[in-house]
Amino acid sequence: MDETAYITLKDVRKAFGPKKVLNGINLTVPKGRSLVVIGGSGTGKSVMIKTILGIVRPDSGSIAIGGEEVTRLKGKDRDAFLQRFGMLFQGAALFDSLPVWENVAFGLIQGRNMPRKQARDIAMEKLRQVGLGPEVGVLYPAELSGGMQKRVGLARAIAADPEIIFFDEPTTGLDPIMADVINNLIVDSVKRLGATTISITHDMASARKIADRIAMIHKGEIIWQGPARAVDTSGNPYVDQFIHGRAEGPIQMEILKA
């Protein structure tokens, strides 16, 4: 596989007022590869993803996808750019008032003006790919378990055959077995599409399963990155503390005092 960078972040910085959240992020992801970003709460993982999507504008630095600088895209160019993405949000983020199939088809109908019948057929096929039958398509999100909701979120993320997919804590809140089912579905779907992915997770089992490479973010900087299999022998005390979930180590939790 071609290992040249497809997504490139160069010295990306972002502060909110006096609070520096991204302190010079440097990352690359080759096409068709899967990068998992690990790191503690509040270290800047979500803000980083938002800078790529253009939801948050970095103060400085460059973000390029396929060689095209994306931080300054506006209007129609930005809409077209966003159509290349699929996203599985934390907590699935489904519309309660729409049946499952319409949640999956939402971007096809609203974003691409696809006729409802055609969008419904695609939605049902994507649901099938994540192990859900047509009987689930007509239910409402409230009628589903958390694991099924995640599957629906995944079906929606892949509905438009995106070229790039972001997974934001895809296994949070699931039992370990259901989490593994979701991890397998992620790996299968990504392979089927040949998509390039960035995932955020606290779940090391998930990171090991879905990552080609793992990067650890701490205080808005990438402090380690390497092949997924090297995470256990990184020799980096921050990575070791995080993957073993130790309270003691170089990462000091900021515990709010009442």
Binding site for ligand ATP (CB under 6 A): 16, 21, 39, 41-47
Among 62, 70, 36, residue whose Cα is nearest residue 166? 36
Residue closer to ligand ATP, measured from CB, 57 or 116: 57
Is the CB of 25 or the CB of 122 nearer to ligand ATP?
A: 25
What residues contact residue 24 under an 8 Å CB cut-off, 6+ apart?
11, 12, 13, 61, 220, 221
- Smallest distance, ligand ATP to C-beta of residue 46, A: 3
- Give the angle 85-88-90 at the CA atoms, nearest 5°: 140
- Residue 72 tokens read as 């300054």
Place of tokens 């992020």: 25
Q: Which is nearer to ligand ATP, 21 or 87 (CB)?
A: 21
For residues 175-202, one letter each, b for 16 or more C-beta atoms within 10 angstroms of the residue's C-beta and e for the rest, the string is eeebbebbbebbeebbeebebbbbbbbb
What span, in angstroms and rounded, lies between the C-alpha atoms of 62 and 15?
15
Closest distance between ligand ATP and the C-beta of residue 207, in Å?
Answer: 13
Q: How far is the CB of 91 from ligand ATP (least distance, A)?
A: 11
Nearer residue to ligand ATP within complex by CB, 51 or 183:
51
Closest distance of CB 49 from ligand ATP, Å: 8
Residue pair 215/35 in contact (Cβ under 8 Å)? The answer is yes
What span, in angstroms and rounded, lies between the C-alpha atoms of 94 and 43?
Answer: 26
Region of 6 on the Ramachandran plot (φ > 0 left; ψ -120 to 50 alpha; else beta): alpha
- Least distance between ligand ATP and beta carbon 174 (Å): 16
Shortest Å distance, C-beta 248 to ligand ATP: 20
Closer to ligand ATP by Cβ: residue 47 or 182: 47
Neighbours of 118 (CB within 10 A): 12
Answer for the pair 156, 79: CB distance below 8 angstroms, yes or no: no
Question: By C-beta, is 41 or 113 nearer to ligand ATP?
Answer: 41
Q: Which is nearer to ligand ATP, 46 or 241 (CB)?
A: 46
User: In this structure, are residues 211 and 31 in contact, taking their beta carbons and an 8 Å threshold?
Assistant: no
Shortest Å, Cβ 257 to ligand ATP:
17
